[in-house]
Amino acid sequence: MSWTYRTAGVDRNKIRKAHLTIAELIKDTYGLRLGRFGEVLEGFGHYASLIDLTEDKALALHCDGCGTKVLVAQLMNKYDTIGIDCVAMCVNDLICIGAEPTTLIDYLALEQPDEKMVNEIMKGLVEAAEKTKTSIIGGETAIMPDIIKGAVKGRGFDLAAFCLGIVKKNNIIRGNRLKLGDAIIGVRSSGIHSNGFSLARKVLLQKAELDLKDKPPELERTIGEELLEPTNLYVDAVMSVIETIDIHAIAHITGGAFAKLRRFEPYADVGFHLDKMPEPHPIFKLIQKTGGITNEEMYRTFNMGIGLCIMTPESNKDKAISLCEAQGLSAYDIGKVVKNSGVRLDIDGKTVVF
C-alpha cells in the first residue's frame, strides 16, 4: 500500500471544505469595524490577517500551533524545543505578509499539572522569542484531563499561540505584484519542521514499527531527535531581504507544502515552476521509502528541504540568496513564476502538477 496523508487520517478535501465554510461564516463580521479602529484590511485566507492601525500602518495577526509534533515530544519525554516550533509557526507566517513580529501570547493545555514539563516548554518559547525579538506578554494554561490525553498517560499537552506584528501599509506583501519570470528562491528548512507529522508518525512508528530511539542507517541521529529538530526561524533573514530588495511574494511551506503557492492565485494571474529543487533531508527519504509514498504526495505534504519561498525579480535573486546566507541559512534558485496557473515540480525526470 502506498501511504497518503488521507490514509494517515488527514483528508485535504475535507479540510478545504471546512476552510470555505469558515470563510463564508465569518466574512460578514469584517464590516463590524468599518470606519472604526480595527477596520479589516485583509481577512481569512492569507498568511496573516490585517487590521487598520494608523494612516500608514497595519496590525498583522496570526494564530497557530505545532500539530501532532507534540505527540513526538511526549513519546520522547523531551519538551525544550517544542516551544520554538510554536513561535516559528506564528512568526514565519507573519513575515510572509511583510510584517515584523512584535508580540505573542501562548495557550498551553495540559492533561495534568507538570511543573518540569511547563518549564521546558516555556524555555523553548522564550528562546525563540529572544531570537525573533518578540515579547511574550501572557497567555493561558488550562488543565483538562478529560480532553487532553496525549500519547503517554500523564504527559498529554497541546500548545498554540497568537502572534501580533506590524507593517507599513505600502510595504504589505500580498502577492499581487508577482510577475512572469520572477525568480523563486528556496530557503533551506531544518528538517520536517511542524507539518506532516500524522503521516510521518504512522509510517515510521506504526507501519514500520520503528522506535523513536532507533537510528536507521539513513540518519545520523535517532528518529526521535530528527523529528524534534526545531522549525527554522526565518524572521531575521526575511526582514533583511525585504528591507534591501524588491519582494513580490513570500510563502512559508507548511501544511499543504508546495501547493501553498496557489494561495497567491487570487492576487496574481500566474503559476509556479519549481525545476531546481535541492536534495531533501534524509528523514524525508526514509519516510517516503518506508511508506511507499509517491513524489506527488511527498511534495504536497512535506517541505522536502525548503521551508520558505521568496519571489523576487530575476535581477535580485543573487542578492536575496546572499542576504539569507548572511543570516546562516542556505538558499537556492529553485524556479520561476510562469504564465500557466498551478504549481509544477520537476522531480526525478517527471513533472508533478498541483
Mean pLDDT of the 73-79 span: 98
The pairing of strands 100-110 and 135-143 is: parallel
**Assigned C-alpha cell, 84:** 520554538
| pLDDT score recorded for residue 116 | 97
How confident is the model at residue 16, as a pLDDT?
A: 86
List, for residues 82-140, the tens digit of each pLDDT value.
999 999 999 999 999 999 999 999 999 999 999 999 999 999 999 999 999 999 999 99
Percent pLDDT > 70 in the chain is 100
Kindly state the cell numbers that stand for 66. Answer: 505545532
- What is the per-residue pLDDT for 40? 96
Residue 243: all three cell numbers together: 528591507
> Average pLDDT in the 55-67 region?
97
Domains of the chain with CATH codes: 37-171 (3.30.1330.10), 183-353 (3.90.650.10)
- Cell numbers for 310, please give them: 521568496
Average pLDDT over residues 284-312: 97
pLDDT of residue 39: 96
Cα–Cα distance, 131 to 233 (Å, whole number): 8
- Average pLDDT of the residues in 192-200: 97
pLDDT tens per residue across span 206-224: 999 999 999 999 999 999 9
Reported as a single tens digit per residue, the pLDDT across 330-340 is 999 999 999 99
Mean pLDDT of all residues in 229-258: 97
Look at residue 1 and tell me whether its pLDDT is greater than 80. no
Residue 191 amino acid letter? G
Q: Using alpha carbons only, how large is the chain's radius of gyration in Å?
A: 20
Dihedral over alpha carbons 198, 199, 201, 206 (to 10 degrees): 120
Q: For residue 11, is pLDDT > 90? A: no
Residues 139-157, mean pLDDT to the nearest whole number: 96
**What is the rounded distance in angstroms from the CA atom of residue 179 to the CA atom of residue 248?**
8
Query: Which position has the grid cell 497567555?
Result: 139
pLDDT at 231 over 90: yes
Look at residue 319 in the predicted model and tell me its pLDDT: 98
Confidence category of residue 45, pLDDT binned at 50, 70, 90: confident
Beta bridge partners of 139: 106
| 3-state DSSP of the chain | CCCCCCCCCCCHHHHHHHHHHHHHHHHHHHHHHCCCCCCEEECCCCCCEEEECCCCEEEEEEEEECCCHHHHHHHHCCCCCHHHHHHHHHHHHHHHHCCEEEEEEEEEEECCCCHHHHHHHHHHHHHHHHHHCCEEEEEEEEECCCCCCCCCCCCCEEEEEEEEEEEEHHHCCCCCCCCCCCEEEEEECCCCCCCCHHHHHHHHHHHCCCCCCCCCCCCCCCHHHHHCCCCCCCHHHHHHHHHHCCCCEEEECCCCHHHHHHHHCCCCCCEEEECCCCCCCHHHHHHHHHHCCCHHHHHHHCCCCEEEEEEECHHHHHHHHHHHHHCCCCEEEEEEEECCCCEEEEECCEEEEC
Rounded CA separation 161/136 (Å): 10
Say yes or no to pLDDT of 36 above 80: yes
Residue entry with cell 488543565: 143
**What is the overall mean pLDDT for the chain?**
96
Of the spans 38-47, 114-123, 344-353, which averages the highest pLDDT? 114-123
**Mean pLDDT throughout 32-58?**
95
Closest CA to 280 of 307, 305, 246: 305
* pTM score above 0.85: yes
